[in-house]
Amino acid sequence: MSRIRRAFDLDADAVAIDAALSADPVLAPLVTAAPGIRIAGSFDPVEALFRTLVGQQISVAAARTALGRLVADLGDGVFPSVEAIATHGREVLRGPVSRIEAIVGVAEALADGSLVLDIGMPLAEFRAALLAQRGIGPWTADYLAMRALGAPDVLPVDDLVIRQSAAALGIAGDRAGLVRAARSWSPWRSYAALHLWRARPARTVPRRA
């Protein structure tokens, strides 16, 4: 039951979050349009990590195809183990060699215990463990902190769609400016991120950066 509540963010105080974010006149219309927004969590932080890594910088359709191939070839109908990805990932994954090596490298680190991810980890420790891995940058660490930990106060300021939405709304679209503007949204910056993703301009580049 606790895993289900965490995955669907059922313990979030939506009324308090909406009230806090609505204090910003720029965010207020977004909150009114989508009240009670919640973080879509994950039951397995490791699976969420690989889904994120495989899906980076490609379309949703291409990510779905790549993940389907990974499950079919290595998982026997379920998401494959880190050992399977570490051993056979190079045979199944497609794309730039650097990206494949990064994914397999993360699988190897998880398999040998040098990388440990747990939903009970403090946010700073979780981010540091991810950022220590080759091929994982701040966007991935922040996104996983939201999805795997349910962290309520993370704003992926390197996200292109968030920056574009912020700029379109009159908020600073550069990294430093967005960091400053977002300070007033704490401790609910993850929910502000969800609203900014939802408010993305009609034409945007892929969000993963």
Instruction: Render pLDDT for 121-177 as a digit per residue (tens, 0 to 9).
Output: 999 999 999 999 998 999 999 999 999 999 999 999 999 999 999 999 999 878 999
How many angstroms separate the CA atoms of 180 and 157, rounded?
11
Question: How many other C-beta atoms can be found within 10 angstroms of the C-beta atom of residue 129?
Answer: 18
pTM above 0.95, yes or no: no
Q: What is the pLDDT of residue 203?
A: 54
pLDDT at 57: 78
Q: Cβ–Cβ contacts within 10 Å for residue 76, how many? A: 9
Q: What are phi and psi of 125, to 5 degrees?
A: -65, -40
Task: Report whether pLDDT(205) > 70.
Answer: no
Q: Quick one: pLDDT at residue 209?
A: 40
Task: Return the number of other C-beta atoms located less than 10 Å from residue 50's C-beta.
Answer: 21
Give the residue-averaged pLDDT of 180-204.
90
Distance between CA atoms of residues 124 and 12, nearest Å: 21
Tell me the pLDDT band of 87, cut-offs 50, 70 and 90: very high
Domains with residue ranges and CATH for the chain: 2-40+152-198 (1.10.1670.40), 45-149 (1.10.340.30)
